[in-house]
Every structure is written in C-alpha cells, then in structure tokens.
Structure 1
Amino acid sequence: MPSETKVSLQDLETAKAELQRVDDRWENYSGNNPDKFVSQRGVARSRVESLTRTLKAQGDLPLTGHEALCAELDRLVPNARHNDVIEHDGAKYKRLFSPARTSLSGKTVTEWDRTWKAI
C-alpha cells in the first residue's frame, strides 16, 4: 500500500497564492467573456479547500467549535440524511445539505455542503 504524502502549510500557502493570481487575472480582464477564467478559478478554489480540509484532518490547522461538533456528529451518525434529527449531549441537531457548487448554468449541483444545525 503506497504511503500518502503529508500535506504541509507551505502547500496551502502556494495554493492560496495561485488562487489570488487567477483572481487578479479575472479582475483585470477587460474582455467581453464573462466566463473567462471560470474553470481556472474553480480548480484553484477547490485545491485550497481540499488542502484546508486535509490539514484540519491531519491536525495541522485547528478546527472551529462548529467543525469539531459536526465531525463528532458525523462520526456518531455517518449515514444521516437531510433533515434527520438526532440528540447528542442533551441537545437536538438537524442534518442539512445545501448546494456548495453548481455548474455554469446553475442547474446541476456538482458539490454539496453538509452541516448540522442545533434545533
């Protein structure tokens, strides 16, 4: 089994710099194509998000209180569906899904955001 390469904070800084570079190119673009650099920006943004998630999972970046709670609830109820309600430590939480990223047309969801909400 191949060993996974550990992600470093330097990798995240490099990815953030690349995202900033692509965003700057998009902001300085004066042409007539509103979709110019869309795919490059999406790839750069996804890379930053992926590295951030990995660094948090490795323990190199701290989790917020809400992220720690969501991780604990995900561990307890890994197959929870939208609007499922559970009780944990005397409080009730509802599982929610919302579109995190859509296609260019906005009709197709390409990535979902998962969270828990206290009720």
Structure 2
Amino acid sequence: MFREIFSPDFNYIVFISPDIKDEIEEKLQIWVNEKLADHRTVTNLRIIIDEYIHQVIPKETLQVIKDDPDDDKILECALAAGANLIVSMDKHLLRLRQFRNIPIVHPSSFSFMFPQK
C-alpha cells in the first residue's frame, strides 16, 4: 500500500502534524539503532515525508483515546486537515470507527474501498 500512496495515480492527500512527525522520527531512530533499517532507507523515508506528505498544525488538543492518549494526535491532525478518512492500523482508533463524521478504517479496508484500475 505504501507504494500506491506515493504513485502519480493516487488521488488522495496524506497529512501529518509536527507531533506525528516527531514520533515517526523517534521510531526511525530506533530502527537505525536496533539495525532494523539502514541509514539509506531511513533517509529515503524522511525525504518522502518531507516531499509528499502535507503538514498541518492542529488547532485543537483532544482527550479522546483514554487508553493511549498519544493516539489523539491522529485525530487532531485529521481535524486540522479537514480529512474525510483516517486510515490506521491502531486498535484504539479502529475501535472508534469514526470521529466527528470522519470514518476510521484499516489499510486493508482502504485498499478494498479504492481498488487499483
């Protein structure tokens, strides 16, 4: 699915907030430290994030996901972006099914909803 998201034919916009980007940076550094990914792969991922993902600044601070408050960042980003869909593998977000009329779906459902031509 990662490949499809960044293909020229993909008709959707992917958003990120500074808090989400910071969390991704932390994970990427762990990958390098634990030798789960090499520096080149991580550098390429950083380039993709910087060039292809649109950054938004959330205007609301939410307290919705009690079991994992960090997940609120995703909801805040979606609201700031005016998103019409959240695609996530996170169990806390998926349990909501939707938030403020924004559906929350698993990537497998997203692929099914928008099949390749």
Higher RCO (Cα < 8 Å, 6 or more apart)? 2
Please identify the structure whose Cα radius of gyration is greater. 1
Verify same fold: TM over 0.5: no
TM range (shorter): under 0.3
